[in-house]
Structure 1
Amino acid sequence: MFSRIRQTLLKPDLEALKPHLYPPVVFEPLSFSRLPKGIDNIHYDAAISPDFRRVVVRLVRIWLQNALYPETGKTQRKLEVDQLETLHKTYLHLSENAVHLARRQRGIQVLQLFQIGITKFLLQTTREEAQSFRQELQDQASKSRGENVEKHEKLVVLAKEEPLYLYGIRRKLFSHLHKLEQTKLRRVRHSLLGSYWPVPQRLIINPMLVLPSLHLDEAVMNDYHLLLTDREGLNGFNELNRLVTHLFNEYLPGEILSPLGDEKGPSQENTIEVRNRLDQGTLSGFLEAELFLREVLQEEEYQDGIDSWLDIPDNMSILFPPDDSFECPVARTRQTSVKWRGYLVWLAEAARLRLKKAGLLERVSAHQEAVRLYRVFNGRLPVRIIYHFLAGLRDKKQLQRYLLSQNLGSLSTDEVARQLQLARRKVQRRSNAELQRDISDCLLSFARFRCDLKNAYRAYVVMDQIRILKDKSDIELSKANNSLHVFYRDSEGSGEQQSTDIVNHVIIKADLRGSTHITEQLVKQGLNPATHFSLNFFDPINKLLDAFGAEKVFVEGDAVILSIFEYGDKSNEWVCVSRACCLARKMIEVMDNQNSKNKSNGLPTLEMGIGIAFSNGPPAFLYDGDHRIMISPAINRASQLSNCSAVLRNSPMGKITGDRGLRVVTASEDLMDKIADDRLLRYNVNGVELDLPAFLKMQKELSLYKGNDREEKNTRYFMGQVADKLGALHTLVVRDGPVRVWQDNSIGGEDRRGRRFFEVVSEAEKIQEAKRLLDSATSRPQPPSSPSEASGEAG
């Protein structure tokens, strides 16, 4: 009763407590939403510098070798020093490149992706190399003869010590990189981006991340109290969390309070649900972190990023000082100081009583002595065994039986037992001052563990969004789809991904007609159709591709699809549509030449319809083995433009137009629903049609002369010159005409919606006619213009 009265008198309200404590740091979840998703449409793809990968692997191998064969340490020291120097230089280079890339892109997400991605890469690589090292040793042991016994002995040691070796390697590796992060790189980031830590420091510099397992006591003890991972009859972390949150229940948000009662964590079904749900890859720590948190904390706290002053470990040192000073850090008056001191005295006593009631006092005091004895015994005894004996959880007989079953090396069983007994009595006879120090240290460690565990979980959640690509085909596929985030040194390739990626592309679709009929005639005459088409059609077209920067997308007997790309680092060559138009006209010329030969040889002639469609962005790619498959909406659009409608071909207009011409018309709703996706009919025989985006792009590429057709109303010609990749100039003429109405089996007036189509003029006489027309026109060359001149499009 008196304790409650005292508590009521001394206990400050929340507003009075706040000035004494460090405020929580607001957690802002990391997001890569502005970056493109990877090829699986789930993760963000990243490729890490081959140089950096190599030096990390070499260092891991050196440290594994030194751990398993300590006698080789001195001989490998120089090699280790050289590799560490390379590690520092390479990491500095990669980090600075990522900072500059973030500055150029005016966004820090790419830098955040780099920092989190590097962390994931290191965690994955260290584990993979440890497993690979063990497998190699097993292979050697199975093959060797004279050294077979020694190899097997080393395998036994490795099987036992591998997790601890892995922990030591990670700790050294991250320590070297974190020193760079906290010194030079911190200043570079602030200088160029105005932020020291775009990724919160506590997210990547976290001892929890380097732990191979939260159950690896010999690693956990270096940073956290052994009670926190103790499962002997209870959940130590849960017990401490309940004690602290109930002690401060009036000062904490509801989402942070532990539930009252005797909940022991999730059921087996819940644990299975967690295991099945996580897409954890090789990040085993992800699963452990969530299981630990889910047993103790409410999901809202660790999943939604809810933080409080409890997540600042230094606040535990303020509330539970290790000595009797009980100073008030912000005392204004003597009265405030006295009241604060009284409150802290009450807190210390309340914590001691609650720990005693829970049977945890000896476990709290046993940690320091257990760690000391583990090191005295050179790791011959597991620290958990030592800890449990000192905490009174094992009796003398149990200890004696255990010691007799262990290989203690040069240690005497009696001497080990004697030292353990002395340490146990020391734990049992702690003075009040020593007990207060033990409780202070334990609660400070609890706050660190709690905070680090939440931040490790948050880091794993972000890491789980990133996929580190190593397979060459995956890297090429992701790069081809413009979804790869490349973090290379300058000597390995551009660190700025966009600089060499495709930014635009144009598709040229040639619909070849009559090839089947010609093939039949050639076979009848005993001739080889394959060589005929190769020599007279495909080979001449293939020779044109390099000059115009074109690539083959798809080739069959009755169709050819080509593409021309524009790249980010070659803006001076952004004339893909103009070159596509000239290439299409050259393809018509190739076909005309073949038709001349066909006529002289008594063979049928070919006809072709070409469509050109532009896409303001990169295409997507799939791979079938080594074969690359392009996916682009421009392919379908170009196919529409290259089409020739049977309705128009069989009409009187088709007979009048003959073997060359391009007409685009619109018709009744019923007819359009049956025939064309863009609700237009095309008569494209040896013609070349552009879509509106391609025409607008061409206007931006070239300075064009413009003139009106004197004979055909509302029809204009545009003429300019473009150089191919070899430097040769080509004259380009494009006709801009109105879409007309198809009615009563004939062409009528203009489409009332004002739609237009755009044709690349391919006949030499028409090009000369356009030149004369434009020469006589009063208009001057038009500069690369905005899209406003084109009021409509075919479809």
Structure 2
Amino acid sequence: MFTFLKNSFKPLSLKEFPIKTPEIIFSLNRLARGVDNIRYDVHLSPDFCKAAIKIITQIIAAHTKSEEILGLDKSANPGKEKDEFKRLCHEVMMDGVNKAKLRRDIQIDYLVQAAIIKFLTKSIRDRYEKLIVHFKNIIQQYESSPHKQEEAGQLKRELSEILEKKKKILRNTGNELFQHLTEVQTKELKEMRESNFGAEAVLPDHIFSNPLFHVEDIADDFFTIEEYDILLGHRLEDTDNYNTLITFIKSLLAEIASKDAAAALRKASAQNPDSAPKTPSPEPDNQNSDAWTMEVSNIDMLFNYFQSWERLQTLKKQKWTKNSLLYLKNYAREQKKLLNFFYRKFRKKGIIERITATYEMQPVYLEYCPPLVPQLVSEFLISPKSRRGIKTRLKRLKPYYEKSFSLRPLRDLVIKLEKVRVRTRKAYLIRFLNGFIRYHRDVQNYNMLKEAMDCINLTTKEDIISLSRANNTLYEFLLPHERESEEKPVISHVIIKADVRGSTDVVHKMKKKGLNPATYFSLNFFDPITEILPDYGAVKVCIEGDAYILSIYEREDTPEDWYSVARACGLAISMLSVIQRYNTKNKKYQLPELELGIGITYRDNAPTIFFDGDNQIMISSAINLADRLSGCSKAVRKKMAGNNEPFNLYVFQTASDEEIAVTSDDLSLRYNVNGIELDATGFKKLSEEIDLKPVEASVQKKKHKFYIGKFPTVTGTYQRLVIRESLIPRIDADTLEITDITDRKYYELCTNTKLCEYIKQGKSI
């Protein structure tokens, strides 16, 4: 909370508090409506649905102790069933992520998430109702048998308890099931979504842990007290009903913001009367207020000076700098001012008394509920007019509960309420605001998801599925074995060419020493690289002497593998890592070291494949360009001898712009020693495959532009990429001196460990 400390002592305005303004953009408006032209037709995996119903039944049975009457297998392993549900849930949502990637529309990913939430919440209520029907059927059978009367009576008592605890059973079942769902979302799918759509597109965790999904009445007194530590009014005239209260809080925040803006305007006018704008005080900023009230942590940031003051005392003992302590002290004072402002406004509305009563009554209110509800207990404490009616109600209902209700604890609380200190009341206000803002956030998210779920048709009927599918309006999220298994046609491909530098010299040196160059190249280059090809989905195209040509295909309707350029980049980095690892060993035993130059090119079409007997031969323009990118000019290498920058690739232009314009060949000169060059088309495709973040950093006092991203390998692990973008300089063909800078760009995959770490951290070196 206090990482923002500054050497500043001026009074803080609302804008200077480190408050957060989260924004969740959730919409399905770009998706095609289903056969009824109203809702979105969704077909979820049948096997996933079966697994979900199975685990829901087990959870409800555990919370109602009804395993035996449901005939559940006692030897079943709950942990195994949970893991199976999570696995299938992950695979179904992965299908949604892949389809969203295929269509380049995040809303498809939102659709599968909303559809699963709808299915699970509906199934929980359905399984509970089926349990009740099952109980009633068994009871009816037992009552018709003269030998089963005692069992019928026992089952009636159990059923009565299950009906009485319905709210709790539904809540506990929902919370437990959605905990598994949240684990899948956060632990297994979050990185995948971030790499495809960016972190800002990932729905926050609290969307799925929202307890409002599991209650029938989101304003129920017991629920709001237990889950949010708040009690709200229900009548329109209540000053603490939800709608009135959130509007009131937003208006107070907007009022503070407008005062800040007006003060800034007056200050500007005083400093420069002639140039200051002659405008009235700004209107309240309701839009910002809406955003501020969607983040729970803002409450402590704005008001909790108690916490800040305690922190200040701790830092004093730790002997922090005087400037930091003064700033924190000033910060706490500003928090106190804001809290006092809110406290006065809440007290004027009569809400402080209600809030105080809510927290003071918590040790005893359950003694009167039922027959009362918490709201009536609160009314007894703060409203003398209501006490007689509440007392009469308790007396009238006493015979039904077989106990007396002493009012002494409540009367003692009435006296105690009058003595509660202002400091305690302010602490209660902060406590209430924390709970209320969390409740408000969950209400808004619940309404957002509910609106989406109401627009989803979870179709299971074959005729609707067939009709919707035929009209291209069906969204299917299935498991791999439920989808068609035939191999799809290739739609694009990437070529990776690794060219070994000085291989002729290596062979000569080894033969001169009586060593075997064939086994050397096999063990140090070809064999170890072959081992890692499956991790990136790469296949061999051919081996041309000392060059290795590889390819990665993308196939139609397989978006889960549409990372061809990203995986090619990762493979190239791993190839260099392999070579460097073997070079360390070779150096130890005085064997030659290998150098590579790697080029990566992308084409958005299928290569031409034909066969010479059993040998497959590929024809692609990408091979020729990859050859150029992997090359290294001897003259340029000699010129750049002693290069001490952490880069391995430099590209230069010697040809005229006119010469370059009339050919598709690459006429550039290169320095590529253990470097990796990605062509411009490949970089564009990469930026579509994963979320690339631009970063500017100084390297040896020169500014450079980098891009950072991460991608999943075939095995599901994630690998980071750091890419340097640079303009191609024009050089004199004879002297190789730079004459000017062109507007053409080239892209290097960075492999220098220190450089990559600095760039990932957004630092300069």
TM-score (norm 2): 0.50
Which structure is richer in relative contact order (CA contacts within 8 A, separation 6 or more)? 2
Look at both structures and tell me which one has the larger radius of gyration over its CA atoms.
1
TM-score (norm 1): 0.48
